[in-house]
A and B are shown apart, each in its own frame.
Chain A
Amino acid sequence: MNSFDEAWSNLPDFLSWHVLLSVSALALGLLISLPLAVLATRNRVLRGGALTFASLIQTIPSLALLALFYPVLLALSHFTQARLGFGFRALGFLPALLALTLYSMLPVLRNTITALAGIDPAIKMAARGVGMTRSQALVLVELPLAAPIIMAGIRTAAVWVIGTATLATPIGQTSLGNYIFTGLQTENYVFVLFGVVSAAGLAILVDRLLALSEDGLARRSRGRVAASLAGLALVIGASLYPMFAPAERSVVIGTKSFDEQYILGNVIADRLHAAGIATTRRDGLGSTVIFRALAAGDLDVYVDYSGTIWANEMKRADSPGRAAVLAEMAGWMKQTYGIRMVGGLGFENAYAFVMPRAKADALHIATLADLAAYAPRLRIGGDFEIFSRPEWRAVQAAYGLKFGVQRQYQANLMYNALTGGDVDVISAFSSDGRIAQYDLKVLGDPKGALPPYDAILLVSPAHANDDALLTALKPLVGAIDLKTMQQANLTVDRPDDKQSPAQAARWLESKIGR
Chain B
Amino acid sequence: MRGFTLIGRARASTRGRGDASCEDGAVIELQGLSKAYANSPAPVVRRLSFTVADGEFLVLVGESGSGKTTTLNMINRLVEPSEGVIRVDGEDVLALDAVTLRRRMGYVFQGAGLFPHMTVAENIAVTPRLLGWPRAQSEARVDELLELVRLAPGAYRGRLPRELSGGQQQRVALARALAARPKIMLMDEPFGALDPLIRDDLAEDYRQIHERLKLTTIFVTHDMTEAMLLGDRIAVMRDGTLVQIGTPNELLGAPADDFVKALFDTPRKRARRLAQVLQAAP
Within A89-144, the residues touching B (CB, 8 Å) are: 120, 122-123, 125-133, 136, 140-141, 144
With A122-B111, A130-B126, A131-B130 known as contacts, the answer to whether A220 contacts B100 (CB < 8 A) is no
Q: Which of B76, B109, B111, B117 has the most CB of A within 10 A?
A: B117
Size of the A side of the interface (Cβ < 8 Å), in residues, is 18
Closest to A123 in B: B113
Smallest beta-carbon distance B61→chain A, Å: 22
The reply to whether B103 and A131 form a contact with Cβ atoms under 8 Å apart is yes
Contacts of B221 in A (CB 8 A): none
B: interface residue count bin:
20 to 34
Find A130's partner among B107, B116, B117 (CB 8 Å cutoff).
B107
Task: Write the B82-118 contact mask toward A (1 if CB under 8 angstroms, else 0).
Answer: 0000000000000000011011100101011111110
Q: Indicate whether B247 reaches chain A with its CB closer than 8 angstroms.
A: no
Q: Indicate whether A277 reaches chain B with its CB closer than 8 angstroms.
A: no
Closest to B78 in A: A128
- Give the docked Cα–Cα distance between A120 and B161 (Å): 14
Q: Indicate whether A145 reaches chain B with its CB closer than 8 angstroms.
A: yes
- Give the docked Cα–Cα distance between A125 and B112 (Å): 10
Within B149-206, the residues touching A (CB, 8 Å) are: 160, 173, 176-177
The reply to whether B99 and A129 form a contact with Cβ atoms under 8 Å apart is no
Smallest beta-carbon distance B70→chain A, Å: 14
- Give the docked Cα–Cα distance between A125 and B78 (Å): 8
Smallest beta-carbon distance B275→chain A, Å: 39
- Give the docked Cα–Cα distance between A150 and B253 (Å): 60
Contacts of A136 in B (CB 8 A): 130
The reply to whether A129 and B107 form a contact with Cβ atoms under 8 Å apart is yes
The reply to whether B102 and A131 form a contact with Cβ atoms under 8 Å apart is yes
- Give the docked Cα–Cα distance between A127 and B100 (Å): 13
Closest to A217 in B: B117
Smallest beta-carbon distance A121→chain B, Å: 9
Smallest beta-carbon distance A142→chain B, Å: 10
The reply to whether B100 and A131 form a contact with Cβ atoms under 8 Å apart is yes
Q: Indicate whether B34 reaches chain A with its CB closer than 8 angstroms.
A: no
The reply to whether B130 and A220 form a contact with Cβ atoms under 8 Å apart is no
- Give the docked Cα–Cα distance between A200 and B99 (Å): 50
Contacts of B111 in A (CB 8 A): 122
With A131-B103, A132-B99 known as contacts, the answer to whether A122 contacts B78 (CB < 8 A) is no
What would 19 more interface pairs be, CB under 8 Å, given A128-B78, A141-B117?
A122-B113, A123-B113, A123-B116, A125-B78, A125-B109, A125-B113, A126-B114, A126-B115, A129-B78, A129-B102, A129-B107, A129-B113, A130-B127, A130-B177, A131-B99, A132-B126, A140-B126, A145-B115, A145-B117
Interface residues of B (CB under 8 A from A): 76, 78, 99-100, 102-104, 107, 109, 111-117, 126-127, 130-131, 160, 173, 176-177
